Amino acid sequence: MKLDTKSKLKRYIECENISSVLNNTKWDRLFKELQKIDFTLDFQRKDLDQSEPGPDDWDADLYHVMGAWEQIEWLNIRALISHPKGDLIKPEIENNTQLLINALQQSGIPYCIYHDGIRIWGYLRPGISPEWEST
């Protein structure tokens, strides 16, 4: 299914009994906050009409990920930078997750800790109860 019109999206949300978490104002606030960050971020996005992305499906382009906000079910963000040390030595990983969390708290965006980053929910399906971090 392709949710290409607002009326189709609204019908789908009502039919599936999906609850909204973020509105356009909060998505816009998040986008502006992420633009200010001067370290590398990776994004993994799931839209309402898409299947779960694979574990290697990450995108580092903020402008590619942040369009069509009204369709984002969730957005994973990780702030890990890999510094190679050589062919035989594991790379050093710089973790900037706390800096990312600070930016989210500044903008009042609700989030959850998720694996090696954070998850921002756009919508919640029935039976999903995230463990929210306090903002």
What does the domain layout of the chain look like in residue ranges?
20-124
Q: DSSP assignment, residue 134?
A: P
Decide: 65 and 75 in contact? Cβ < 8 Å. yes
Q: Tens digit of pLDDT for each residue in 34-71?
A: 998 888 899 999 999 899 999 989 999 998 888 888 89
Q: Tens digit of pLDDT for each residue in 101-134?
A: 998 998 889 999 998 899 999 999 999 999 998 6
Query: Using CA atoms, how far apart are residues 31 and 12, in angstroms rounded to an integer?
Result: 25
Decide: 109 and 23 in contact? Cβ < 8 Å. no
